[in-house]
Amino acid sequence: MFKKSILFAACAALMATSVMAQDAQRTCSTMDVDARLRAEDPFYAANREAIETFTQNYIATDGERAIVTIPVVVHVVYNVAAENISDTRILEQIDVLSDDFRRLNSDVGETPAYFAGIAADCEIQFCLATTDPSGNPTTGITRTSTTKTSFSTADEMKGATYGHTAWDRNKYLNLWVCDLSGGLLGYAQFPGGAASTDGVVIDYAYFGVTGAAAPYNLGRTATHEVGHWLNLYHIWGDDGTSCGGSDLVADTPNQADETYGCPGGTIRISCTNGPNGDNFQNYMDYTDDGCMNMFTAGQKTRMQALFAPGGTRVSLTTSNGCSGGGGGGTCNVPTGMSTTGVTASGATFNWTAVAGATSYNVRYKTTAGATWTTTTSATASKAVTGLTAATAYEWQVQTVCSGGTTSAYTASTNFTTTGGGGGACVDNYEPNNTSGTAATLSTNVTYQELIASSTDLDWFKFTTTSPNTKIKVTLTSLPADYDVRLYNQSVSQKGISENGGTTNEQIIWNTTAAGTRYVQVYGYGGVFSTADCYDLLISVQSANYREDGSFTVVNEEWDNAITSIYPNPVTGDAVTVDYFSVQEDMNVSVQIVDILGRVVSTTNASVVSGENMIDLSVADLQAGVYIVVISNGKSSYTENFIVD
């Protein structure tokens, strides 16, 4: 479930942030390019119709499928040095594409259970070309300096005047990376267009992982656009909000419009698609990279139709672009993974040797992280060092065969390093399950603590003195979905951080008052670990802390709240609840309860970050005292009102 740290800026900064957020929304111009080609190319519309007929026949007959490996050439077209992205980012992007289309992405666990059953391994993977169209060795990367400072969707980066011409589209996926104007993240050409412009264009700022611009820094812009290149439409059908359009995929819920940001665990219902609502976790929506994690089985079938005999992109299955192409020859995925020799700073990864392997690519990262560290091994094991103590990691391995052919990466194997704090992970300061038994901690010191049972709550207290009254509470190295709350000396809550899964938690309170403060750490839903500690750091300083270096947090920390109910007492048939939400777009449950605790009405409301006016009917209520209860799935907020 997605949850959010509660941090608010001063009004001017908040307004500026809002404008910036709007500018940073995902924008894809594939449908604009589709419309242009229909107007300019006399054959394009007929080609698209023929491809769709073939696709629907393939779906109806459930045609044969095989794992397809697509050779990729990346054309970097740059005007300034920043646009000439590194080989590392390009290699990262190829890995992201393979992971996402093979459902080996590290965030598969973020797919809600109600959509997990339709999530699919699309059996499509990607390799950076090792052979160019003339049969010569290549890195699979071209670099072209251009006099143009930015590009539109007019395809000028695909020509020799300002960019680089396409390689044979029957053997390669052409990816152009350049500076796109107008905040455009990328666009693709659907199957059926001209060979000279066939491929995908991505803005350099959103390509790869390392150094890419958040919140589109996980490589999912390319995943989205390659989905278009493989004949997928936007999941909402590009029909405005009419609910009359379609992405021509049977198992994707009918959806009213695009989804921005990251609604997380929220169920967003539109076009009567309850109870599960929109599939905004789909790569073909407009959510942030961190909120995308799946294709459906229906989308897989639609893409696989392109590679069936007679399919538009079937020639790619026999391409020699990766010196073996097709399904990767006999370069099989490793099996028998195990982790041995785990210490506080290292581990050894092991797997069963693959026949025909010349070497192996190995990558690893913290389970909470987004960036892989990649290395190689000539044998069926790899020892790594430099790891962080008491930290959860995952690793994957890929076979490299003769000619440079590679297999897909394996699924992740997880392990946790030992140590932390110079000794074993223990449950210190117990009993400290209440504010009255809170353990005293020093500030600016990292503590490693344990939540050892489903009922274990860790309470701590600390004292600030002037001028070092500004507070930042940080929770890291989480073994499970742990959350944190910050309280003042009266044990009145000042802030809460409720991020999902093992994502780090943080609360900032820039107050000018000194005194005793309290912190509570707990497992959401009673989760715990008897062996793995979390890290708690309470930082204090005299200057205001900043969030991501972008804006100063105000002097008070806000929480969700029902700020008023009016009219109160109620004399008519309706009442308005003024509800302040710190979460972004989400659904909340709204109940009216009588004084005996009986629920007399229940409804759902869609709320946004900030003030929300929720209108409720009270026409059927008798005179008396009632309670409004608003729940966001983790916390509930109540307020009384009277019906005369």
Just list the catalytic residues. 225
Closest CA to 522 of 512, 540, 506, 534: 534
- Tokens for 244, please give them: 């009359």
Q: What is the SS3 assignment for 351? A: strand
Strands 610-617 and 173-178: unpaired
Cα–Cα distance for residue pair 602/111, rounded to 1 Å:
27
Residue 103: Cβ within 10 Å count: 18
H helix or E strand, kind and range, residue 564 = strand 561-566
Q: What is the SS3 assignment for 265? A: coil
The residue type at 492: S
Cα–Cα distance for residue pair 255/284, rounded to 1 Å:
12
Distances (CA, A) of 79 to 82, 182, 201: 8, 17, 16
Which residues face 587 on adjacent strands?
A: 606
Q: What is the SS3 assignment for 525? A: helix
Cα–Cα distance for residue pair 220/96, rounded to 1 Å:
8
Q: What is the SS3 assignment for 95? A: helix
Which residues face 493 on adjacent strands?
A: 487
DSSP 36: H
The answer to whether 280 and 259 have CB atoms below 8 angstroms apart is yes
Q: Could you please report the per-residue DSSP string of 408-431?
A: PPPPPEEEE----TTS----TT-S
Cα–Cα distance for residue pair 501/332, rounded to 1 Å:
33
Question: Residue 237 burial (CB < 10 Å; 0-12/13-18/19+)?
Answer: buried
Residues 6+ apart with CB under 8 A from 60: none
H helix or E strand, kind and range, residue 14 = helix 11-23
The answer to whether 378 and 359 have CB atoms below 8 angstroms apart is yes
- Tokens for 539, please give them: 């930082």
CA-based end-to-end distance of the chain? 40
The answer to whether 484 and 94 have CB atoms below 8 angstroms apart is no
Cα–Cα distance for residue pair 435/430, rounded to 1 Å:
12
The residue type at 65: R
The residue type at 494: K
Residue 579: Cβ within 10 Å count: 25
Cα–Cα distance for residue pair 221/208, rounded to 1 Å:
9
- Tokens for 272, please give them: 């009567």
